[in-house]
Amino acid sequence: MTSEAGIEQVLKAASMRVTQPRVAVLAAVAAHPHADTETIISAVHGDHPHVSHQAVYDSLKLFTKLGVIRQIQPQGHIARYETRVGDNHHHVVCRQCGNLADVDCAVGEAPCLHASDHHGFIIDEAEVIYWGICPQCQVVNA
């Protein structure tokens, strides 16, 4: 989804109107995985300075609602966004610098979707966040 044509195709598949602000926002999210809103706004303004902050916020909200992007917000951290959706992957977060990385399910195909007691829920997603110290902070701490 890195080309403009690919981004337009994703928007059309989600039954959204293709607009320059939406294309710019989705391109920024794709180019900056796990970016926060301010980083996305800065990336959008780099190529499209006329796109308002509100248009970026509205696009992020709509994309998240429609499942085009995923919002990640580990406890105590600001929201971040990514285009990797639909595969139920998880994340690892550095306790010191806040660096965040993708982590696939530990074993098999989404084993975390089989809860020991589902309480009658139909489970379609699990959010697991691993916490630790990233390699860069380990070097600094040494």
Instruction: Determine, yes or no, domain membership for 77.
Output: no
The alpha helices in 4-133, defined as continuous H runs, are: 4-13, 20-31, 37-47, 53-65
Are 91 and 123 within one domain? yes
The model's pLDDT over 13-28, given as tens digits with 9 standing for 90+, comes to 999 999 999 999 999 9
Q: How many domains does the chain have?
A: 2
Are 107 and 60 within one domain? no
pLDDT exceeds 60 at position 110: no
Are 52 and 109 within one domain? no
Look at the alpha carbons of 115, 81, 103, 109 in this order and tell me if their dihedral is positive or negative: positive
Averaged confidence pLDDT in the chain: 90
Instruction: Determine, yes or no, domain membership for 81.
Output: no
The alpha carbon of residue 134 and the mean position of all alpha carbons in its chain are separated, in whole angstroms, by 19
Helix axes 53-65, 20-31, angle to 10 degrees: 70
The model's pLDDT over 61-75, given as tens digits with 9 standing for 90+, comes to 999 999 999 999 999
- Taking Cα atoms as reference points, which of 102, 103, 128 lies closest to residue 115? 128
Q: Residue 109 sits in a domain of what CATH number?
A: 3.30.1490.190
Tokens of 87: 């595969």
Are 66 and 15 within one domain? yes
Tokens of 24: 């710019």
The answer to whether residues 6 and 12 touch, using CB atoms and an 8 Å cutoff, is: no
pLDDT at 111: 61
Tokens of 105: 């399910």
Tokens of 134: 């990233």
Are 59 and 110 within one domain? no
Does pTM top 0.95 for this prediction? no
Range of the domain at 22: 4-72
Instruction: Determine, yes or no, domain membership for 104.
Output: yes
Q: How confident is the model at residue 142 (pLDDT cuts 50, 70, 90)?
A: confident
